[in-house]
Amino acid sequence: MKSEIAAKFSAIKVFLFDLEGVLMKNNSLGDQCFRAIKNASDEFQKLGVRFGIVTARRTDDVINKLKTIDGLKVISSSLDKVSAAEKFLDSISLDYGNAFYIGDDLLDIPLLKKCRVSAAPSSCRREVKREVTFVSKSESCAELLNEIITYYKKSKETAKRATKIG
C-alpha cells in the first residue's frame, strides 16, 4: 500500500460499502457472502470502527437478512447516498474525513468524492475508477472485505511505527 493511502486509511472510523456490484454479484446474497459480511462486521467491531452498507436497493429479504448482523448498519432505499451517509455520520458524530466508501456505479460517484478514502472494484465503469483513491483487485465478497480490513490494519501499524520514530 502506498504511504499516502496508508496515512489516509489510518484516519478512517467508518467503512461503508455499496451492495450490488461490490459485495453482492448477480443480484443475490449467497451464504458465503453473508458469512463474509458477518465475519467482517465482527472484525470491524474488534478494531473499534463502524461498518455499514449504503444501497439504493429497497427493503426486501436480502436487506432484512443483512439487518440481522450485529454491528452492521444497513442504509437502504436511498438514491441520494450522500444525504443518507451524512445522516448516519452525523448520528455517530463523524464526518467524511473519517469515512471510507467503495462503490461501482455512477450513482456512487458523489459519495466516493466526499469520503477520505474511496475505492472501486476492478469490474466497475471507467468513470468510477477515475474518481477513487484505489481500485480493488478482489474478485469475491470475502476477498474484498479481507483486503480492506488488511489495508486498515497495515495503516494502523504504519502509524504506530511513525509515532515511535517521531
Give the type of residue at 9: F
Predicted confidence at residue 163, as pLDDT, reads 62
Distance CA 115, CA 94 (A): 11
Predicted confidence at residue 116, as pLDDT, reads 97
Distance CA 29, CA 31 (A): 7
Domain architecture of the chain: domains with CATH: 3-165 (3.40.50.1000)
The C-alpha angle 73, 153, 93, rounded to 5 degrees, equals: 40
Predicted confidence at residue 165, as pLDDT, reads 60
Predicted confidence at residue 24, as pLDDT, reads 94
Predicted confidence at residue 121, as pLDDT, reads 96
Predicted confidence at residue 166, as pLDDT, reads 54
Predicted confidence at residue 164, as pLDDT, reads 63
Strand pairing class (99-102; 72-75)? unpaired
Length of the chain: 166
| pLDDT mean for each 10 residues of the chain (166 residues) | 79 97 89 97 98 96 96 93 96 97 97 98 95 94 96 85 63
Here the cell at position 58 is 429497497
Distance CA 73, CA 88 (A): 9
